[in-house]
Structure 1
Amino acid sequence: MLGLTVEVLATETGLPVSAIEALERDGSSADIKALAAVRSVLETHGLLFLAGGSDGTGGAGIRFKHWAENDGIRPENLNATNDD
């Protein structure tokens, strides 16, 4: 979504590449401090983490913090007729 490489994420979090790769494989059993470091970096890059129902329309997920109306089609409006 952001185009960050594992190496860039490792550098920005201060974690080794192997720790980032481990999070990608099994984030549910990951070190909470490593998860917090990754989340912090992703938020710095403009991502917003949503709890289930926190945006009023559904489950947990992520989105960009700043959404401008001219940034394209909102996800809830995607369908076969506007598939380019």
Structure 2
Amino acid sequence: MLTAPQLRAARALLGLSIEDIASVSGLSADAIQEAEADQVHGEPEVIERLRTLLESKGVLFLGAGEEDAGAGPGVRLRQTLQDEGIRPQNLNSANDG
């Protein structure tokens, strides 16, 4: 179960405002504020839409005990591999695009 603190933390990790999320998700700013204040009882579609959006931007939601047996639910960013391309000294006619 996704928690309100996880939603707030995920948005903060991405450096996005409520308005940023609202414009991309199609949700109202009020709906997002309510979700982050844990006031959305019976509105799982709001939580699911936020989850999908935040995960698409690289957020990983962790369940209680998922990383550490004593830890509560958490949030972290997915590690991205940066493709640096081919180093100049390794360029040749076969791989020069």
Q: Same-fold call, TM > 0.5?
A: yes
Structure 2 portions without partners, runs of 5+ = 1-12, 82-97
- TM superposition shift of 1:67: 6.9
Q: Which structure has the larger Rg? A: 2
Poorly superposed stretches of 4+, deviation over 6 Å? none
Question: Number of residue pairs matched?
Answer: 68
TM-score computed with the length of structure 1 as normaliser: 0.68
**Normalized against structure 2, the TM-score is what?**
0.60
Alignment of structure 1 residues 1-84 onto 2, 5 Å: 1-27=13-39, 29=41, 31-57=43-69, 58-66=71-79
Give RMSD over aligned pairs. 2.1
Q: Percent identity of the aligned residues?
A: 32
Q: Which has the higher contact order (CA 8 A, sep 6+)?
A: 2
Q: Which has the higher helix share?
A: 1
1:48 offset after TM fit, Å? 0.2
